[in-house]
Chains A and B, each alone.
Chain A
Amino acid sequence: MKSRLTAEDVTLGYGERVVSTRVSLAVPDGAFTAIVGPNACGKSTLLKAFVRLLTPSSGTVRLDGRDVAAHRPKPFARQVGFLPQGLVAPENIVVRRLVARGRYPHQSLLGTGSAADEEAVRSAMAVAGVADLAERPVEELSGGQRQRVWIAMVLAQETPYLLLDEPTTFLDITHQYELLALFARLRDEGRTIVAVLHDINQACRFADHVVAMKDGRVVAQGPPADVVDADLMREVFGLPSMVMPNPATGTPMVVPTV
């Protein structure tokens, strides 16, 4: 399993509060990795360390063997894209202009773009299914549409790596599945996807690699069929459950027994 993006023995936290101690994770290239775990287990924190939003107090996050902190911001942003939670679009901005903000790392200091930018924006809007909203102000859109616009923005960044913090939160179930299928499609096209997901069944259904975290540690990782069982559910979530093959896909399916 090859991996260009790795965290080695990283200790992470905010000020005095330590969230994770000596965590290691190698992100498998070209795969869809889902990070799961209970609230406040350090999933988002780990993601932030991978995209340089958080500097580990010890240990190193590396891209291509080099400390991510040593990479220059724009070249790094052409390799690794990130979608945080809880984004608010500026007032008055239309969809196309917001998606175009994803082109920032490809543009000059003064923001002059090229035809490649136009093409990337057009294609990102088409892939995320927001092409027909291009000239609509973002504040007029529904929550599901808005989330797809943000996805289009990070797609327009055209990065081999795509890291997403709970991208399906606040979406209805149809939009959740559409989005996960989109990530799987992007993976098939060669991108590496890492997403923090809340729904363990969705993670098993769509991800190639599941990382289960608890109390800032990685408890288990691997293909869903090898990792997700009743023991893991009890250990990580404290949830008594049965795990059986999903009748539609054969992937593990968790049925809580409480």
Chain B
Amino acid sequence: MSTLTLRAGPVLVEVERRTAVVSSGLVAVAAALALLGLCHGQDWATPAEVVTALFSGGESAFVIREWRLPRVAAALVFGASLGLAGAVFQNLTRNALGSPDVIGLDAGAYTGALVAITLLNGTAGQLAAGSVAGGLLAAAVIYLLSLDSGLSGLRLVVVGIAVNAMLTAFNSWVVLRAEIDVALAATGWNAGSLNGVDWAEVRLPFAVIGLFALLLVVVSHAMHQAALGDEVARTTGVRLGRLRLLMVLAGVGCTATVTAVAGPVVFIALAAPQIGRRLARAVGVPLVPAALTGAVLLLAADLVAQLLLAPVALPVGVVTTAIGGCYLIWLLGMEVKRR
């Protein structure tokens, strides 16, 4: 497999050529989908109009910049964030099923958000904090229940699936007990949707996701070293305990921040890292292809959600759930066959 070596003075970084090519391709697809997303609306705009609106203004500038652009940007950033979260947990559990939506972290984040809505006022800040706290709490519970095998292996995944089921039931109970208007808001949001997203809503989440992504840049080298197994990782100088803590924090942060704004959007975190890995034929579960694939998948799913029953816009979560269900069945089948 050929590699590209980038040099800056005495420092050198090696990148797989195929990963670089695949990543560039994914960026191009994301850009094309973004343009389509910006064109789409009650009245279709031409690509030329979109470009004019973005860079110099014009009559449709307001609609495109303030209404359509935040939605497209949210799909890209949230998709990338979910892809990253999935890659982190799949690396951590060394299992393709070890994704935050499967092992109950999304459900935990939703529980946290429900608490923020029903017991507190449900401001954006409370929602974000509640989601992250709920996700971390779910992660802690799963960790304690599967302590025998540490944070790796199928055991953690199975425990996570059970925790997911219990949390989902608990979430339904909370919604049933809530005031009718709160319950309606919570249920609509539970489907996972980007409908009506505006800049004010996404500014804080974008910044938070940026910070967690930065943390992942810092830990990614150690994360890939840890793929060699605990013993080699530790005897080559990886601080495994600290690394795992940071990975869980960043992974939960990435998935819970998205949940706080859009509700639980399943499937992206599960599928994007695996699709990215296979496209790049990479070693382990690399972060960059996972993030780019996640961005492409969520944006594409959101476009399908808007176009499928137009003029009714479906929640994007409905589309990802439908596709994700099929993928999950296939993946479970493969997992059973492997054993």
Q: How far is the CA of A110 from the CA of B221 in the complex (A)?
A: 6
When chains A and B are docked, how far (Å) is the Cα of A112 from the Cα of B13?
5
**Given the known A-B contacts A84-B231, A87-B228, A88-B229, are A109 and B283 also in contact in the complex, defined by CB atoms under 8 Å?**
no
Instruction: Judge whether B227 and A92 touch: CB under 8 Å.
Output: no
Among residues of B, the one whose C-beta sits closest to the C-beta of A102 is B236
Bound complex: CA of A102 vs CA of B225, how far in Å? Answer: 9
Residues of A within 8 A of B307 (CB): none
State whether the Cβ of A216 lies closer than 8 Å to any Cβ in chain B.
no
Question: Would you give the 0/1 interface string for A166-204, flagging 1 where the beta carbon is closer than 8 Å to chain B?
Answer: 000000000000000000000000000000000000000
Q: Cα distance A93–B285 when bound, in Å?
A: 12
- Per the 8 Å Cβ criterion, residues 227-245 of B in contact with A are 227-229, 231-232, 234-239
- B324 interface contact, C-beta 8 A: no
Select from chain B the residue with minimum beta-carbon distance to A136: B1
* Chain A 76-112 per-residue mask, 1 if CB under 8 angstroms from chain B, else 0: 1110111010011111111001001110110101111
Q: In the complex, A74→B234 CA distance in Å?
A: 9
B234 with A112: CB separation less than 8 A: no
In the complex, are the beta carbons of A90 and B227 less than 8 A apart?
yes
Are the CB atoms of A92 and B218 closer together than 8 Å?
A: no
Are A73 and B239 in contact, CB atoms less than 8 angstroms apart?
Answer: yes
Task: Write the nearest CB–CB distance from A134 to chain B, whole angstroms.
Answer: 11
Q: Is the CB of A104 within 8 A of B10?
A: no
Q: Pick the contact of B282: A92, A104, A107 (CB < 8 A).
A: A92
- The answer to whether A115 and B232 touch across the interface, beta carbons within 8 angstroms, is no
B contacts with A, residue count (CB < 8 A)? 28
Of chain A, the residue at the smallest CB distance from B284 is A90
Judging by beta carbons under 8 Å apart, are B283 and A97 in contact? yes
Residues of B within 8 A of A115 (CB): 10, 12
B312 part of interface (Cβ distance < 8 Å): no
Does B238 contact A107, Cβ atoms closer than 8 Å? Answer: no
Is B155 located at the chain interface by the 8 A CB criterion? no
Chain B residues whose CB sits within 8 angstroms of the CB of A105 once the complex forms: 236-237
Q: Are A112 and B231 in contact (CB under 8 A)?
A: no
- With both beta carbons as reference points, the residue of chain B lying nearest to A137 in the complex is identified as B1
In the complex, chain A residues whose CB is within 8 Å of the CB of B326: none
Within 8 Å of chain B (Cβ to Cβ): is A122? no
Q: Which residues of B contact A157 (CB under 8 A)?
A: 236
Interface residues on A, range: 35 or more
B221 x A84 contact (CB < 8 A): no
Kindly list chain A residues whose C-beta atoms are within 8 Å of the C-beta of B239: 73
A152 contacts partner chain B, Cβ-Cβ < 8 Å: no
Contacts of B11 in A (CB 8 A): 112-114
Neighbour of B225 across the interface among A88, A104, A112, CB < 8 A? A104
Of the candidates B221, B229, B234, B283, which one forms a contact with A52 in the assembled complex, judged by CB atoms under 8 Å apart? B234
B13, B227, B232, B238: the one within 8 Å of A84 (CB): B232
A73 touches B217 (CB 8 A): no
Q: Mark A132-169, 1 if CB is under 8 A from B, else 0.
A: 00010100000000000000000001000000000000
Chain A hits for B284, CB < 8 A? 90-91
User: Does A53 touch B at the CB level, under 8 Å?
Assistant: yes
Of B1, B220, B229, B238, which one neighbours A104 at CB under 8 angstroms?
B238
Does B235 contact A110, Cβ atoms closer than 8 Å?
no
Which residue of chain A has the shortest Cβ distance to B283 in the bound complex?
A93
Q: Is the CB of B221 within 8 A of A107?
A: yes
Docked CA distance A53–B225 (Å): 16
| CB within 8 Å for A53 and B218 given contacts A76-B237, A92-B282 | no
Asked if A51 is an interface residue, CB under 8 A from chain B, the answer is: yes
* Inter-chain contacts of B40 with A (CB < 8 A): none
Assess the A94–B236 pair: CB atoms within 8 A. no
Determine which of A74, A111, A135 lies in contact with B221 in the assembled complex, contact meaning CB atoms within 8 Å: A111
Contacts of A101 in B (CB 8 A): 225, 228, 232, 236
Q: How far is it, in angstroms, between the C-alpha of A80 and the C-alpha of B237 when the chains are bound?
A: 10
Complex interface: chain A residues within 8 A of B227 (CB): 90
State the CA gap A135–B16 with chains docked (Å).
Answer: 12
**Contact indicator A77/B235 (Cβ below 8 Å):** yes
What are 7 sample pairs from A and B whose C-beta atoms fall under 8 A apart?
A: A82-B232, A104-B237, A104-B238, A109-B218, A111-B13, A118-B12, A137-B1
* A-B pairs with lowest CB-CB distance, top 5: A111-B221, A77-B237, A74-B237, A105-B237, A82-B235
